[in-house]
Amino acid sequence: MPEPNSRAASHSAGLRPPSDGVLSAISVTLSFAEGSRRDPRPRAGAGRLRCVSSRPSTASVFGVRAPRLGLAGHPDFALVGLLKIPEIQTSPWRSLLRRVLFAIALLFAAALVVYLGRSGYHDNAGGELSFLDALYYATVSLSTTGYGDIAPVSPAARLANTVIITPLRILFLIVLVGTTLGVLTERSRQAFKIQRWRRRVRNHTVVVGYGTKGRTAIDAMLGDGVQPADIVVVDTDAVALAAAGNAGLVTVQGSATQSDVLRLAGAQHAASVIVAANRDDTAVLVTLTARELSRTAKIVVAIREAENTHLLRQSGADSVVVSSETAGRLLGIATATPSVVEMIEDLLTPEEGFAIAQREVEPAEIGGSPRHLGDIVLGVVRGSVLVRVGEPEVDSLEAGDKLLYIRRAGK
């Protein structure tokens, strides 16, 4: 379970990627698997890891704060095409049937108005108007044909024609030419959705890059119960964004190295930012920009080279995942103990098997040992320090501790 903070304690923990403790626990598992093959003897102090965090703002690096103008300051209709809100897809036949039914409903509504006020209408054929006559009059009136054989003569009937029949005629014509107006109405609808989304979006997750790493990260969050509406994808590739939109995700087209693009994605209100760029230098710049916009968002970055880890930490990243180094560890472990790799893959798959989770210590567990709990506890997070189970300082649980434990996926 992700670690809540004071800013977003009231929101669901599923809105954020795994906490530092979970990532550190996976790193501890990998290191332990490697070390157990080389030297089975325990090492002094090997069970203690410190979660380091450095969060300088971009203003302290460049000396100038980025201007508040840009894409975020544009009117909503100008953002159509850059910011896309997913829609519920309906078949063309269903849409056509809906329009036809709406037109018929308008026709019968107009006929009912005429029939209720039939005493105020004059028929050249003589006699009182029947409902069929009222339906005929409504048809020729809404279609603007107007033969004139039936006409309103009383003031009440003429008022009803002015106040009711005329608006119905306009709606009827709009339905008939709806296909022609489809492009304009689509753009207006998108502009309205953008306006409403920008006003309401809070505590969401911004994912920079929809490549293999970005898609996998989103799949993991969706597997943990995060709603697609709480994820915003930022990328420059229109094809990738189209795939993200088909998955029900909000998308923003543009370079995340620009502050106005991240601001358009709501990074200043985000609970977390995942940086899955293809280049390490791009990841550093995106991290700097995201940290300037939000000093409280949790920033998780994936990089290729381990030597760039300290740059990401100084740029404001909370967690740094070295993809190439992690893959290399798994390859090395698999040569001697492939079952360990299978277990680690199982822990990283949220849909099935087991998963590493984090939870608060319950009041009944305070003072007890984590080794005596029903859960399989890997470590205890006390303050900003992760300590393995078995170390003397965590033999007695304290209030405020967090447990890293193994749970069955889906629970």
Q: Domain of 171: which CATH number?
A: 1.10.287.70
What does the radius of gyration of the chain's CA atoms come to, in whole angstroms? 31
List of residues 6+ apart from 299 with CB closer than 8 A: 272, 273, 275, 287, 290, 291, 316, 317, 318, 319
Q: What share of the chain is helix, strand, coil (3-state, %, to 5)?
A: 50, 15, 35
Residue 31 lies in a domain: yes
> CATH no. for residue 395?
3.30.70.1450
Residue 191 lies in a domain: no
One domain for residues 264 and 239: yes
One domain for residues 157 and 282: no
pLDDT in tens, 129-147: 788 888 887 877 777 666 6
Domain closes at, from 265, 299, 317: 317
- Judging by DSSP bridges, how do beta strands 298-303 and 319-322 pair with one another? parallel
Q: Is the pLDDT of residue 207 over 90?
A: yes
Range of the domain at 158: 92-176
pLDDT in tens, 94-116: 766 777 788 788 888 888 888 88
One domain for residues 294 and 236: yes
Residue 3 lies in a domain: no
- Please report where in the chains the tokens 């930012």 appear, as a residue: 273
Residue 91's pLDDT band, with cuts at 50, 70 and 90, is: low
List of residues 6+ apart from 128 with CB closer than 8 A: 118, 119
One domain for residues 334 and 265: no
One domain for residues 160 and 18: no
pLDDT in tens, 10-40: 333 334 444 555 555 555 455 545 554 444 4
Q: Report the number of distinct structural domains present in the chain.
A: 3
Give 277-307 as a DSSP string. -SSHHHHHHHHHHHHHH-SSSEEEEEES-GG
- Please report where in the chains the tokens 């420059």 appear, as a residue: 236
One domain for residues 211 and 225: yes
Residue 184 lies in a domain: no
Residue 270's pLDDT band, with cuts at 50, 70 and 90, is: very high
Global pTM? Answer: 0.57
One domain for residues 312 and 210: yes
Domain closes at, from 127, 160, 176: 176
pLDDT in tens, 112-127: 888 888 777 777 667 6
One domain for residues 311 and 215: yes
One domain for residues 313 and 249: yes
Residue 2 lies in a domain: no
